[in-house]
Every structure is written in structure tokens, then in C-alpha cells.
């Protein structure tokens, strides 16, 4: 029994020598806490694959889902933005057509109706605005003023306004008429596209599209929006914007002398199939003295002058 301590000591020494040998060979010893193997000196850091990272999805400018690139991915260029589509406007029948720009050009839709185009020179006094040629969307002249002439109403509102050159010419016209004992007054001048839309919609509700189109323009197609047109009457307002105005001394004077001041009767009698509108002896349009006198001599409308008569066929457009 005295040999047992010696045997136990020998076994302990043997176990210690075995552990030292294992460590020297670089083996993996169990982890005390988890029981799993921990990397030894021979295991490289990248031996364990890193989790893959997918690019996050974010909405792009056009509403489609696009992947965002990682900061280091400089080789990926952003997707190009969408090119704007050609602008279109609608013709009298509500069909879309490409917006043209050549004044006097002739349009033609697939239905045989004239295509609507945007007038090329909205700022010019000689601009053609009718059922075929419209003003740029939302157009507002930048030189509107209040002409110093009588009006049949007292409110200082937009329909008193005209563009500067047209206003000065109107003042001279009214003064010239007064010398001949003709007292003229303004009825309606500048009108915004929004206001024209309201008016045309109301007229359609009242009389229907076909009838309304003979005496009222669609929004964007009104000469009043140019700031170059004024409806006039006598100072008493009698027959203002009514057919009976054609039988008044004021209408006679305008027909004879308006051109001397740069104005024309825009919708003359007997030209409805060309202008698209019934006779309006009260609607005068400023085009400048040179063109006004030329049209007075030729008897042409603006449509005929530019070779751009609108084939309205009974003014159904």
C-alpha cells in the first residue's frame, strides 16, 4: 500500500506530458464554454464565409424599383432620366395631335378636321389665334395695362385690360370717334384662359357645343387672351355684344375708321365659314396700322391673309 502514492504521481505526470504534446502539434482543443472547436493557428480569417449583403431596394425617380450600389462600387453609373415626350394639344374634337409652330401652316387630323397647332409668335401684334391656332398653355401677356377710355361698367377688373400698344391705340381710336360725335366704350378686353374655360363651359351647357362654338372660343383659342382685342359699344351699353350693334352709328364708324388706328373688325360679315365665328361688329382686334390698312384694302380676314383659313363647314369645330 506504500507504493500507491508513487503510482498516482506517475499517472499525473503522464497526463501532463500528453497535453503538452497536443499543444505543440497545433490541434484544436474543445472550447470550455461551448464545447465547439475554436480556430487554431492554421485556420485563416477568411475561411469562414462572410454573410452576403444584397443591395437595398429604393424607389427611383420614375417610380420603378432600383438597386442602390455599395459605396465601393464606383463602376456602376446611375440610370438615365426619361426624356420628355413631345407636347401635344387637342384639336376641336378632343383628339391629341403634335403641337406645331408654323403660323399659317395647314393642319389635318385623321378625321379630316384641322389639327390644332400652337401659334409661333404669341407676343406679336399680328399673331393668328383661332380654332386651328391656339396660344401656349397658360399664356398671359406681360404688358397688360388699363386703357384710359370709358367702360360700360365701373369695376376695375381684368376685362378692362389690354396690352400696352393696343391700349394706347384704343385711346386714340376713342378720342378720334369722339371728334366725330361718336361715343365709344369698352365692354370686354383681356380674358384669362381659366376665365374663358368657365365661359365656354357655361355656354355649352346653355346652347350645346355646336351653337356655343359659333360665338365662343375654347380655352386657349380666344383672342381676348392675347390682350389685343376689345369688345366695344356705345357709352350707354345698348346692344353691347349683341347683333343689333351692327345697326348703330358706332358700328358704322368702326367699320370705316378702325384701321386708321391699327384695329380690324376681326369677325366680319359673310366670313363665318372662314373665321369660324358669326359676325361680330363689336369685336375689334389690334394688329398695327400697316396690316390693318392692308386687310381693309384687300377685304381679307387674318386667316385669308396667312393662307390658313379654317375649313369649319358650318362652324362645327
Does residue 24 sit in helix, strand or coil?
helix
* Of 52, 252, 19, 220, the residue nearest 137 (C-alpha): 220
Structure-block grid coordinates of residue 108: 389635318
Active site residue 304: no
Q: What pairing do the DSSP bridges indicate for beta strands 144-145 and 280-286?
A: unpaired
Are 104 and 129 contacting, i.e. CB atoms less than 8 angstroms apart? no
Alpha-helix residue ranges (DSSP H) falling in 92-134: none
Residues 6 or more apart in contact with residue 58 via CB below 8 angstroms: 65, 66, 68
Angstrom distance (rounded) from CA 312 to CA 114: 9
* Of 114, 131, 285, the residue nearest 200 (C-alpha): 131
Structure-block grid coordinates of residue 268: 366680319
Residue 30: strand pairing partners: 37
- Annotated catalytic residue, options 113, 193, 280, 303: 280
Using alpha carbons, list the distances in angstroms from residue 178 to 164, 262, 287.
Answer: 21, 17, 22
Angstrom distance (rounded) from CA 49 to CA 38: 16
* Of 240, 245, 310, 317, the residue nearest 279 (C-alpha): 245
User: Which positions are annotated as active-site residues?
Assistant: 280
Amino acid at each position: 500500500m506504500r507504493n500507491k502514492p508513487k503510482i498516482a504521481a506517475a499517472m499525473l505526470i503522464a497526463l501532463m506530458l500528453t497535453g503538452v504534446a497536443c499543444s505543440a502539434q497545433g490541434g484544436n482543443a474543445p472550447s470550455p464554454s461551448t464545447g465547439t472547436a475554436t480556430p487554431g493557428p492554421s485556420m485563416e480569417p477568411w475561411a469562414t464565409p462572410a454573410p452576403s449583403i444584397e443591395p437595398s431596394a429604393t424607389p427611383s425617380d420614375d417610380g420603378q424599383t432600383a438597386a442602390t450600389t455599395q459605396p465601393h462600387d464606383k463602376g456602376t453609373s446611375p440610370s438615365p432620366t426619361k426624356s420628355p415626350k413631345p407636347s401635344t394639344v387637342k384639336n376641336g374634337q378632343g383628339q391629341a395631335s403634335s403641337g406645331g409652330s408654323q403660323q399659317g401652316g395647314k393642319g389635318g387630323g385623321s378625321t379630316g378636321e384641322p389639327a390644332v397647332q400652337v401659334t409661333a409668335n404669341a407676343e406679336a401684334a399680328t399673331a393668328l389665334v383661332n380654332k386651328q391656332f391656339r396660344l401656349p398653355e397658360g399664356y398671359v401677356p406681360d404688358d397688360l395695362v388699363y386703357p384710359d377710355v370709358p367702360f360700360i361698367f365701373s369695376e376695375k377688373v381684368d376685362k378692362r385690360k389690354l396690352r400696352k400698344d393696343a391700349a394706347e391705340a384704343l385711346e386714340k381710336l376713342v378720342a378720334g370717334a369722339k371728334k366725330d360725335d361718336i361715343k365709344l366704350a369698352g365692354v370686354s378686353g383681356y380674358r384669362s384662359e381659366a376665365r374663358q374655360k368657365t365661359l365656354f363651359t357655361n355656354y355649352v351647357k346653355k346652347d350645346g357645343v355646336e351653337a356655343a362654338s359659333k360665338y365662343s372660343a375654347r380655352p386657349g383659342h380666344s383672342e381676348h387672351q392675347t390682350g389685343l382685342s376689345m369688345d366695344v359699344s356705345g357709352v350707354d351699353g345698348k346692344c353691347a355684344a349683341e347683333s343689333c350693334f351692327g345697326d348703330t352709328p358706332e358700328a358704322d364708324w368702326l367699320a370705316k375708321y378702325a384701321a386708321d388706328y391699327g384695329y380690324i373688325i376681326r369677325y366680319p360679315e359673310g366670313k363665318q365659314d372662314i373665321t369660324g365665328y358669326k359676325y361680330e361688329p363689336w369685336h375689334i382686334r389690334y394688329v398695327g396700322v400697316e396690316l390693318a390698312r392692308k386687310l381693309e384694302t384687300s377685304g381679307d380676314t387674318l386667316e385669308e391673309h396667312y393662307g390658313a383659313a379654317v375649313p369649319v363647314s358650318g362652324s362645327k369645330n
